[in-house]
Amino acid sequence: MKAQEFYNENDVIAVVTTEPFARFLDYLAPEGGCKVGSFLILPLGKRKVIGVVWGAGEGNYERSKLRSATSVINVPTMSYTMRRFLEVVSDYTITPINLILRLCTRVPDLTKPSVTLKVFSLVSNYTDFKKTPQRDLLISALSKNKRSKLTAKEIVSISGVSSAVITAAARAGILDEQRIERDSPYPALDPDFKPKKLNSSQINADKEIRHVQKQNNFTAILLQGVTGSGKTEVYLEAVANALKNGQQVLVLLPEIALTSEFFNRVKNRFGEKPAEWHSGVTLAERRRVWKMVSSGGAKLVIGARSALFLPFINLGLIIVDEEHDQSYKQEDGVIYNARDMAVLRSSIEGSMVILASATPSLESWVNAKNGKYKHVYINERYGQATLPSLLAIDLRKEKLKSDEWISVSLKESVTECLNNNEQSLLFLNRRGYSPTTVCRTCGNQISCDECDARMVEHRFIKRLMCHQCGHTKVMPDKCPSCGIEGKLAVIGPGVERLAEEAQRKFPNAKISVLSSDLYGSAKSLKAEIQKISEGNIDIIIGTQLVAKGHNFPKLRLVGVIDIDIGLQGSDLRAAERTYQLVRQVSGRAGRTDNKGMALIQTYQPEHPVVEAIIKGDDDDFWVSEAKQRELACMPPFGKLVGIVISSNSLDKAMSLANQLKKNTHPLDILAAKIYGPAPAPISRIKGRHRIRFLVKSPRTSGLQDAIRNWVATVSLKGDLRLSIDIDPQSFY
Ligand code: ADP
Ligand code: ZN
């Protein structure tokens, strides 16, 4: 599209709105004109909507029918690279650009003027007032603080005095009261505040990264090193360099709402806390982050995947920590992988992106091996910490009692830890009490009424729950199928049931169950994690939640209850995921000086994945996994696309799928294989029937165009939906 810098009032402009139209809309520029990239308020039907100026209008509409944009919103214009990024994401994910624009305008009250905030500062040299111990505290805290203007809340937190003392001090002339903009810049970060002295492995990694960073153009780096090797410290040095260059930096972390540890680390390193962007941040603060990112008042943002769509103006570095983590993939609404989009954004910005992990995704590992990414290793754990020793417990030899899952050897090791006042972690990636409830008379398994999924018993909330749609119901007395009473039995363990067994076996131990559904809010979960890191818990029972970057200094033993669960099924990434998860979880043990241990319970110790984990030879694992994928022409060696057609009517969904199957010409040109249509592995969710295609293409270029042309051959009427998942991570 042709774009000029400025459009005069009544020029015809092309606008992208946040409404679901797959095209640009023509408007007349508002009073006072507008720029390319300006955010506008626009009339649309009877409503007012937000849009961004993309360029000159096409002029295909009669001028007299065009409406005038209402006004320009008082925020900085959207940069060229940001607009380009949105276009490329839209093309890559085959999603209308409007929905992508929505991802970056998800900020409250964008159209409203900013609010002000009351702040206080110390009046210097004023001594003519009554002295009290409270006032002494107040004055000493304020005079030591770097920033001079603070809100009452901030003063309360640094000085410990009550807000009444602050108000009185203001009245007595000790403090000066002022109003400033709520959306004010974040305190400056000092790149030289407190750098850590790096060890020799870290110095080498830092040198390599520094060398690339100097060249100041697009590079992707895979920073690989075992848990605790000091990757974070190394990439914080890269952050420091970017800050010195006046650039903005984005650090993406999975499950960021659950931990404050990282923010404290940043504060220790740079003297102040960075801007924070995730679901746990207040609306007012999110608005401040958005505005400051777009005006340069925020230099460092630590965020969840959606932070990638913030309007940075000078983004010099993106870090994707734990880059293999599944939570980077957004699976509903706009389907995208934040890790891949981070690489894309860096390539458009001409900047550096660092993907950090102890257990990279196979995709990134292959990209590093073939030279597309630069591979930087850190080879040892930092300091005295050594990697935990790994052992398999062969459950064929050590028989478990019925309805028990902790073997005798695992029990002995936990007891030893308890005696030494050290923590153990029992890992089982299953929420709830028990995954299956079955009728002993007729064999019926209780499943969800709306989904093709078993209901999972959650004893904590005393209900059965569907993990697909969240629907719950009470446990029935009679079997819903045969009607016979008292014959329903639970089979297999979830974390809640495992906790019962642990409490029986270790009656004096303090046990905590870490599972996302057991806590009402991220805040209470965060508090529990904090309690564990402080050492106030003896045994942690957890789902994959515990694999994520938490630092539990007293943790010595990790017991993996059932590694075989993850290896079953036909998921392309089953091996890779189990490998990553178990390596990550066992990496939690022995992070400080004492040697950690991981015990892995399995019925198949000779399984290649189990053997690779025990041997601890990461490269071996990736080499063999890569070879298998290559033979099967699977990602990253070929491209996969998942297409799901859904409707309340199975016939309608199936007939649309058959229509698509009849005309696959656009894909034939790429020699792509089309599997399906077939009922998706979960064939019904929330009452909607799901029919799936999998497209496997040896070529990547032209794939999106081909898919777009293919699905355009059918039209979606009524409640029919078609979703496209490029590079699917889960197959359901
Ligand atoms: P990773 O990110 O690879 O898991 P971290 O960077 O979190 O590793 O380092 C593990 C621990 O070692 C952290 O507590 C960290 O503060 C400490 N650490 C790492 N490098 C250094 C260093 N050079 N000086 C002091 N402490 C360090
Ligand atoms: Zn359901």
pLDDT attached to residue 423: 93
The answer as to whether 384 is a domain residue is: no
Average pLDDT over residues 288-311: 95
Q: Whose CA is nearest to atom 4 of ligand 1?
A: 228
Q: What is the pLDDT of residue 229?
A: 87
Asked if residue 374 and residue 290 are part of one domain, the reply reads yes
pLDDT in tens, 412-452: 999 999 999 999 999 998 889 998 999 999 999 999 988 88
Q: In the numeric block, which tokens belong to residue 244?
A: 């010195």
| Average pLDDT of the residues in 695-707 | 90
Separation between Cα atoms, residue 357 and residue 377, nearest integer Å: 10
Q: What does the pLDDT look like over 77-119, one tens digit per residue?
A: 999 999 999 999 999 999 999 999 999 988 878 888 777 889 9
CB 42 within 8 A of CB 53: no
User: What is the 687 CA–ligand 2 centroid distance (Å)?
Assistant: 8
> Do 90 and 235 share a domain, yes or no?
no
Ligand 1 midpoint to CA 196 (Å): 9
Angle in degrees, 0-180, between the axes of helices 152-159 and 163-171, rounded to the nearest 10: 110
Q: What is the CATH number of the domain that holds 499?
A: 3.40.50.300
Does 521 map to a domain?
yes
Q: What does DSSP say about strands 71-72 and 39-44: parallel, antiparallel, or unpaired?
A: antiparallel
Is residue 111 in some structural domain? no
pLDDT, averaged across the chain: 90
Report CA-CA distances (Å) from 348 to 80, 218, 250, 309, 493.
10, 8, 15, 13, 48
Pocket test for ligand 1, best of 200, 232, 320, 583 (most atoms within 8 A of CB): 232
Pocket of ligand 1 contains residue 197 by CB under 6 Å: yes
Å from CA of 378 to ligand 1 middle: 12
- Phi and psi at 155, nearest 5°, equal -65, -40
**Model confidence band, residue 2 (pLDDT cutoffs 50, 70, 90):** low
Of ligand 1's atoms, which has the minimum distance to the CA of residue 358? 3
- pLDDT tens profile 353-385: 999 999 999 999 999 999 999 999 998 777 665
User: Scanning the structure block, which residue is given the tokens 């005798």?
Assistant: 408
Same domain, 252 and 341: yes
> Does residue 609 share a domain with residue 539?
yes
User: Do 544 and 616 share a domain, yes or no?
Assistant: yes
Q: Where is pLDDT greater, at 280 or 40?
A: 40
Question: From ligand 1's centre to the CA of 261, what distance in Å?
Answer: 13
Residues 282 and 260: their CA atoms lie apart, in Å, by 15
Q: Are residues 71 and 164 in the same domain?
A: no
Ligand 1 mean position, distance from CA 588 (Å): 13
Statement to judge: residues 603 and 530 lie in one domain: yes
Residue 644 has pLDDT above 70, yes or no: yes
pLDDT bin (cut points 50, 70, 90) of residue 147 is confident
Domain closes at, from 103, 134, 169: 103
228 in ligand 1 pocket by Cβ < 6 Å? yes
In a domain, 108, yes or no: no
- Position 570 scores a pLDDT of 63
Q: How far is the CA of 605 from the centre of ligand 1 (A)?
A: 33
CATH number of the CATH domain containing 99: 3.40.1440.60
Spatial separation of the C-alpha atoms in residues 539 and 406, rounded to whole Å: 13
Averaged pLDDT, 470-492: 90
Q: Of 373, 319, 362, which is closest to residue 577 (Cα–Cα)?
A: 362
Whole-angstrom distance, CA of residue 478 vs CA of residue 537: 39
Percent of the chain with pLDDT over 70: 97
Q: Is the CB of 549 under 6 A from ligand 1?
A: no
Q: Which ligand is nearest to the CA of 682?
A: 2
Q: Quote the number of domains for the chain.
A: 5
Place of tokens 């000159």: 56
Those residues with Cβ within 8 angstroms of residue 57's Cβ, 6 or more apart along the chain or in another chain: 11, 12, 13, 14, 24, 26, 27, 66
Q: Give the residue, by CA position, lying nearest to ligand 1 atom 25.
A: 196
Task: State in Å: Cα 7 to ligand 1 middle.
Answer: 52
Strand partners, 466: 455
* pLDDT interval class at 48 (50, 70, 90): very high
| 316: in domain | yes
Does residue 191 belong to any structural domain of this protein? no
Q: Do 423 and 563 belong together in one domain?
A: yes
Our answer on whether the CB atom of 269 is closer than 6 Å to any ligand 1 atom is no
CATH number for the domain including 717? 3.30.70.600
- pLDDT at residue 687 in the model: 92
Give residue 714's pLDDT: 92
382 CB less than 6 Å from ligand 1? yes
Q: Are residues 271 and 366 in the same domain?
A: yes
* Range 491-505 average pLDDT: 95
Which residues fall inside 5 Å of ion ligand 2, going by CB?
448, 450-451, 466, 468-469, 471
Structure tokens at 665: 């010409």
Contact call for residues 721 and 647 (beta carbons, < 8 A)? yes
pLDDT class of 502 with cuts at 50, 70, 90: very high
| 28 and 156 share one domain | no
| Buried/exposed 31-40: b ≥16 CB within 10 Å, e otherwise | eeebbbbbbb
Report if residue 468 sits inside a domain. Answer: no
Hey, which of 147-151, 252-256, 494-498 has the most confident mean pLDDT?
Answer: 494-498
Alpha-carbon span 378 to 352, nearest angstrom: 19
Specify the DSSP element, H or E, that contains 566. helix 564-567
How far, in Å, is the centroid of ligand 1 from the Cα of 377?
A: 15
The residues near 268 (Cβ < 8 Å, ≥ 6 apart) are 194
With tokens 């009185």, the residue in question is 168
* End position of a domain, from candidates 564, 594, 626: 626
Q: Nearest ligand to the C-alpha of residue 587?
A: 1
- Both tokens assigned to 477: 């007395």
The protein residue whose alpha carbon is closest to atom 26 in ligand 1 is 196
**For ligand 1, atom 19: residue with the closest CA:** 230
Q: What's the gap in Å between 575 CA and the centre of ligand 2? A: 27
Q: Is residue 357 part of a domain?
A: yes
Same domain as 695, residue 621:
no
Which of 148, 181, 214 represents a domain boundary (last residue)? 181
Residues 234 and 303 in one domain: yes
Range of the domain at 122: 116-181
